[in-house]
Copies of this chain bind each other. A is one copy, B any other.
Amino acid sequence: MEHDEARERLLAAAEALYYARGIHAVGMDEVRDRAGVSLARLYRLYPSKAHLVAGYLRARDARWRARLAGWVEAHAADAGPRARLLAVFDWLGRWFAEPDYRGCAFINAWGEIGPADDLVAAAVREHKELFRDYLVGLADGLEQPVDVAEQIQTLAEGAMVTSAILGGQAAVRARSAAEAVLR
């Protein structure tokens, strides 16, 4: 087995288990079993659980933002900034409706570990900053793109939380609020 293949298998296993059940509820043995990788190799690739968790978060960040950007590209590529930003909430609605939706992995990780571990905290902060930067890019052309993007982000984060805890049509409500912000 190649080193990169083992790394991919570990990240896939970590993502499936950590996102579904939480980080502290999943032990290293379980990740190793699912990935089919020896414990020694796991610790050679990720010298501690914090490293593995940070790797999981970074991998998920990349895939999450790629999925979001792909959707917006496909549905509002040549639209104006307002339509592009509203498309974000359409994608959120589809995400929330997935059967294995468990909220935002980064908000959850923050709640579990928070600033107690620097590696994990940095990965969470980076993800939220990159999300913000992406929204700022979508807002390009508006009068105050940064302010608008940060308000849109606040709505998106709130929708993720509300949808996870209370369910319901959180994305639709957030989209309505976003329309007001963008008017």
Contact = CB atoms under 8 A, between A and B. Distances in A.
Interface of A: 21-22, 24-25, 102-103, 106-114, 116, 124-125, 128-129, 132, 147, 150-151, 153-159, 161-162, 164-166, 170, 173-174, 176-177, 180-181, 183
A27 to B, nearest CB: 13
A28 to B, nearest CB: 16
A98 B57 CA distance: 29
Given A24-B24, A109-B111, A111-B111, A173 B161 contact: no
Q: How many copies of the chain does the oligomer comprise?
A: 2
A9 B37 CA distance: 48
Contact of A180 (B24, B25, B132, B181): B181
Contact of A158 (B108, B158, B164, B165): B158
A86 to B, nearest CB: 14
A-B pairs, top 5 by smallest CB distance, nearest first, are: A111-B111, A158-B158, A154-B158, A108-B111, A157-B158
B128 A150 contact: no
Given A173-B151, A177-B181, A24 B112 contact: yes
A162 B104 CA distance: 13
Contacts of A158: 153-159, 161
B107 A166 contact: no
B165 A154 contact: no
B103 A111 contact: yes
A147 B124 CA distance: 31
Contacts of A128: 162, 165-166
